[in-house]
Amino acid sequence: MSTFRSAVAAYEKKCIEADVPSETVMCYLVELSQQERYALYMNFENEMPEALQKKFDEGMARILSQEPMGHVLGYSWFYGYKFIVNENVLIPREETEELCAQILARMDRIFTEQDSIECADVGTGSADIAITLCKEEKKVRMHATDISEEALTVARQNAVNNEADIDFMAGDMLKPLIERNIKLDVLACNPPYIPAEEKMEHSVVDYEPHVALFGGDDGLKFYRQVFRDCRQIMKPKSFMAFEMGYDQRERMSVLVQEMLPDTSFEILKDMNGKDRMLFVYFGCSSINDMND
């Protein structure tokens, strides 16, 4: 038997030894106990109930062997919404929450006059972007594509659980949208953008779907594909929003200028100061002042 304090301290130490962030211990305990952090701290000197201790030990063993917490729990939080996650979808990242916030801000400004905003989330995975935009902006009509049927099963369940009305389509990138002749105000896309040879943590490469991670030799394969095809689906006044790798600013800028010379674009930094988001505008302008 151990107190909350001693159990947490012991696992924090083990995390450091195993190269797992030690904050994971409290995050996991909050989820497992269904208690707020402050309530746990108020109980810190008490003995941890046996059933909780058992679950905590089992889950922490998996976390210490590098399994992502989202897989141990079976869910993950994104923009305040709960998403089922498993080995078939990318676990939603904080950077992608920022992408959603930036998209919502621009929708508000650019489409003030419109009653509805036609949107697509390309490579939707867990449908984190699609559901968030739907829930946060009532004018949005959302389409979402993914090449993986297994991912779409998770995405559909997440849409039901979060009561979001989304038109899901199986297919490669923009293909299903083009086939249905859909015309968009906003395209959102967090494509696989890790260069094929890049070394990554075990918790990512061993557990997350490679189809959601790797973007060809230079990581830009899927951007090229979207830039090549996007004119078939983007309305004259519309924008595209992408997540991108922190070290791709130079190459990305060249690619946009080469492939979409008549658009304007901007690259925004994430909360860690890293280049992370690309916005490309057709027939409308950027709002740089929001990021100064």
Q: Under the rule (CB under 6 A), what is the footprint of ligand GLN?
A: 90, 92, 96, 123-126, 128-129, 190-192, 212
Q: With left for phi above 0 and alpha for psi between -120 and 50, is residue 23 left, alpha or beta? A: alpha
| Pick 125 or 176: Cβ nearer ligand GLN | 125
Residue 267: CB minimum distance to ligand GLN, A: 18
Alpha carbon distance 116, 111 (integer Å): 8
Residue 52: CB minimum distance to ligand GLN, A: 31
Strand partners, 83: 76
Residue 155: CB minimum distance to ligand GLN, A: 9
| Pick 59 or 92: Cβ nearer ligand GLN | 92
Alpha carbon distance 76, 64 (integer Å): 18
Alpha carbon distance 133, 121 (integer Å): 9
Residue 81: CB minimum distance to ligand GLN, A: 12
| Pick 125 or 219: Cβ nearer ligand GLN | 125
The answer to whether 184 touches 119, Cβ cutoff 8 Å, is: yes
Residue 11: CB minimum distance to ligand GLN, A: 28
Q: Which two tokens stand for residue 20?
A: 């797992």
| Pick 92 or 219: Cβ nearer ligand GLN | 92
Q: How many CB atoms lie within 10 A of CB 236?
A: 8
Closest CB to ligand GLN: residue number: 125
Residue 290: CB minimum distance to ligand GLN, A: 21
Residue 177 Cα distances to 14, 23, 119, 213, angstroms: 48, 41, 11, 22
| Pick 59 or 245: Cβ nearer ligand GLN | 245
Alpha carbon distance 55, 53 (integer Å): 6
Which residue from 171, 170, 177, 208 is spatially nearest to 192, judged by alpha carbons? 208
The answer to whether 174 touches 229, Cβ cutoff 8 Å, is: yes
| Pick 33 or 158: Cβ nearer ligand GLN | 158
| Pick 9 or 204: Cβ nearer ligand GLN | 204
Residue 1: CB minimum distance to ligand GLN, A: 40
